[in-house]
Structure formats: C-alpha cells, structure tokens
Amino acid sequence: MMIYLDNAATTFPKPEAVYQAVDQCMRGFGANPGRSGHKMALDAGRAIYKTRELLCRLFNIDNPMQVIFTSNATDSLNLALKGVLKAGDHVITTSMEHNSMIRPIMSLKEIGVEHTVVQCSETGELDPEKIRAAIQQNTKLIAMTHASNITGTLMPVAKVGKIAKEKGVLLLVDAAQTAGIYAIDVEEMQIDLLAAPGHKGLMGPQGTGILYIRDGIELRHMKEGGTGSKSESLLQPEIIPDRYESGTPNTPGIAGLGAGIEFILSTGLDNIRKHEEDLTAHMLSELKKIQGIKIYGPQDHTKQAAVISINIGEEDSSEVSYVLDKVFEVAVRSGLHCAPLAHQTIGTFEQGTVRFSIGYFNTREDIDKAIEALKKICEELVV
C-alpha cells in the first residue's frame, strides 16, 4: 500500500463524500448551470451557489458573489495579479513564492509593472517590517504566500495585512498550502484577494480553484465569453461573479469542492490542523534523530504547515525520492517544486529537496514507515 506524503501537490485521498458528490452531480444533474432555466440546470446552479456559500463560511466572506471559481490557484493568481496591476504600478512579493506567483509577476514586467522581492531568512521566515520598508509611492499590491510549499514556513499574513491597510496597499494571499487547514479570516487578516486551489486542503477535486475579491475591487477580466447573463451584449457583463467566470464551469468539480468544505466544517478546522501539527511534530522529532539528514525550514510545527523538506548529505534529491517510491512505496516530491527563488533562499537551488507533505488522512504509522525508510536509505548510503 502506497504511503502518500505528497499532499502539498494535491491531497489524497479525498473524503468519500467528495467522490460521491462528483458522481451524483454528473449522473443526477449534469446540465449546464446558469444557462438554461430547466430543473436540471437549476440544480446545477444551486450546487455551485452552495459551494460559494460554504467558502464564505470558511473564510468569513460576506457575499457569495465575491467568490470566483477558477481552474486552479495559478489561474486565480494570474487573474488577481493581471487584473490589479497596470503599467507604472509596483508590487511587493517575497523570496519564498511559488512560480505561480513569480512567473506572472515577471511577465508583468514586460508591460511596465515594477516589483520588489523581499528576502526571507534561510528558514523561509519573513520579517513584516521588510515589507513595510519596500513600500513605494506607486506600490499597488503586496502579493505573498501564506505558507511556503517547500519548508511549510508560515508567513505573518495578519501583520502584513495591517501594514497594507495602513499604507493603502492591496493584499493578495496565496493560500495554496493553508486553505482548509489554517484559520483564514479575510476581515481579520485584511486580505483583499485570496487565491486557493480547490484540490489541496479544501479537499475538492483537481480542476478547481477560487479567488475571493473584496467588494469594491474591480479587476481587469482575463477572458470574455458567454456568461448566461446579459446575453444581448457583445461586451463582457460587469456583474460579479459572471464578469470573471466565462464559459461552462466545472460543475462536478465545484460540487465535489462543496462536499470537501462540508467535511472540513463538520470535522472542524482545528481538529484537522491539530492532527497535521501532531504528525509534523512527530516527524520532525524523529528526523532530528537520524544522522546525515539535513532538515530545512523552521523545524517547529507551530511555525510551519505540514510540509517538511530534507536532504541526505549531498545525495541528489530525485534519487532519494526515487528510492522512497520504488523500494519503500512512499510517495513524495523532490527537486525544486516550482519554487526556484525559495530554494535559493534556503540554499538548495542545486540539490533541490525531498519534500514530505502530510495530509489529514495520514496516520502516525505512515510517518513511522517513512522514517524507517529514511533510516534504511541513510544506512545504505553510509555503507
């Protein structure tokens, strides 16, 4: 039986209710929502609206119409960044970002958007005062992750939110590693734009993502098309969420996402986080006992999400993950994890890291087996 420790890429398994919601949607009311007026189409529309409402409960969002469905977090981040930033604007980001944040920012350079990358520490930690110091007259946006996908390092989003508010700058948060696990309150944390994948901590199917857009923020739309609204017009309608949601949505995926969020709300976010924290603490403590293993990041379960990056001596990270998979049936991810700047920050740009990412369905036994495997690999390498 494969031990899946690649939950930072996508969570697996999903709650049984998610599989069932997808199947029931496709079989029972697989019509096009918001297009036609017949019963099946209305049922499909209701399933989508219900997921919007559940997201509102989870993130303390007022109006379900401010939740936009996208195809993944990358899609959400592109819409947020390109929707907000214009030539002459300045954006601040961090050195721990994923390429889904960095690459759109680099492409915006071509149209004259400036950026500053604030350097984080070697454990991936961010000093919020460095963000304050980077704010310029033309700073429009601070765009940052909530937790690193390499080291799990949790970022001081609420503190940055205060600074952003004080300075009249917008805050975009990439919650790819935290949504569904850590408490995110867009009001308390003063988040203006919140991007998240549906298929990680939110436990929905792949092919789903969300973007929360604070009331009053108008983004340039990235694509135009049929919205089922204002059909008489050749121009993209202004009303939300239609303005940003052209074409047929991923109805079964969104229905499944709704079931995932219901699972989170009924299980309790605190219980989910506690479970992941316990396993992270356990794994960190066991890892520290193995000679030859270098652990990156804060090495403290209160300062990091359930993501642990390591290396064994100078061993190629891909080689280690290959052996974990082939010999020990432990699924992890190695290499740069689409986050080259973060690897530069922690000093692993050449070697990459072997990343263990823990999910709610992992057990203490899974961690013990992974630790046993690592011990054996280390012994082999020492011999």
Residues 137 to 176 in contact with a copy of itself, rule: CB under 8 A = none
Residue with tokens 């697989």: 30
Which of 157, 341, 371, 374 forms a contact with a copy of itself (CB under 8 A)? 341
CB of 276 to a copy of itself, least distance (A): 18
C-alpha angle 250/6/346, rounded to 5°?
115
Residue among 91, 102, 118, 312 that touches a copy of itself (CB under 8 A): 102
Contacting range for a copy of itself; rule: CB under 8 A; set: 9-17, 129-137, 289-297, 367-375: 9-17
Q: Which is nearer to a copy of itself, 18 or 54 (CB)?
A: 18
**In angstroms, what is the minimal distance from the CB of 301 to a copy of itself?**
23
Shortest distance (Å) from residue 144 CB to a copy of itself = 16
Stretch that binds a copy of itself, among 85-93, 99-107, 299-307, 365-373 (CB under 8 A): 99-107
Stretch touching a copy of itself by CB under 8 A, among 270-278, 287-295, 301-309, 320-328? 320-328
- Map the footprint of a copy of itself across residues 274-293, applying CB under 8 A: none
Q: Which of these segments, 155-163, 275-283, 336-344, 365-373, binds a copy of itself (CB under 8 A)?
A: 336-344
Residue 51 interacts with a copy of itself (CB under 8 A): yes or no: no
Determine if 9 is a binding residue for a copy of itself (CB under 8 A): yes
- Reduced to 3 states, what is the DSSP secondary structure of residue 357? strand
Q: Positive or negative CA dihedral for 246, 223, 199, 201?
A: negative
CB of 176 to a copy of itself, least distance (A): 10
Share of the chain residues as helix, strand and coil, in percent rounded to the nearest 5: 40, 15, 45
Our finding on whether 359 is near a copy of itself (CB under 8 A) is no
Q: Which of 108, 116, 48 is nearest to 256 (CA)?
A: 48
Instruction: Report if residue 337 touches a copy of itself, rule: CB under 8 A.
Output: yes
Site for a copy of itself in 201-230 (CB under 8 A): 205-209, 221-228
Min dist CB 311 to a copy of itself, Å, is 16
Is 1 in a helix, a strand, or coil? Answer: coil
232 makes contact with a copy of itself (CB under 8 A): yes
Question: Which residue lies nearer to a copy of itself by CB, 301 or 337?
Answer: 337
* 111 forms part of the interface with a copy of itself (CB under 8 A): no
The answer to whether 119 contacts a copy of itself (rule: CB under 8 A) is no
Rounded to whole angstroms, how far apart are CA atoms 73 and 101? 10
What's the gap between Cα 330 and its chain centre? 23
How far, rounded to the nearest angstrom, does the alpha carbon of residue 102 sit from its chain's CA centroid? 14
Q: Are 43 and 223 in contact (CB under 8 A)?
A: no
Determine, following the binding rule CB under 8 A, whether residue 334 of this chain makes contact with a copy of itself: yes
- Rounded CA separation 359/305 (Å): 10
Size of the chain, expressed as the number of residues it contains? 383
The two beta strands, 90-94 and 114-118, are parallel
Smallest gap from Cβ 256 to a copy of itself, in A, equals 8
Question: Taking the CA atoms of the chain, what radius of gyration do you get in angstroms?
Answer: 21
State the Cα angle at 171 between 70 and 360, rounded to 5°. 55
Interface with a copy of itself by CB under 8 A: which range of 25-33, 60-68, 135-143, 296-304?
Answer: 25-33
Nearer to a copy of itself (CB atom), residue 106 or residue 183: 106
Give the phi and the psi of residue 53 in degrees, each rounded to 5: -65, -40
CA angle 272, 276, 282 (to 5 degrees): 150
Q: In the annotation, is 338 catalytic?
A: yes
Distance of CA 183 to the CA centre of its chain: 14
What residues act catalytically? 338
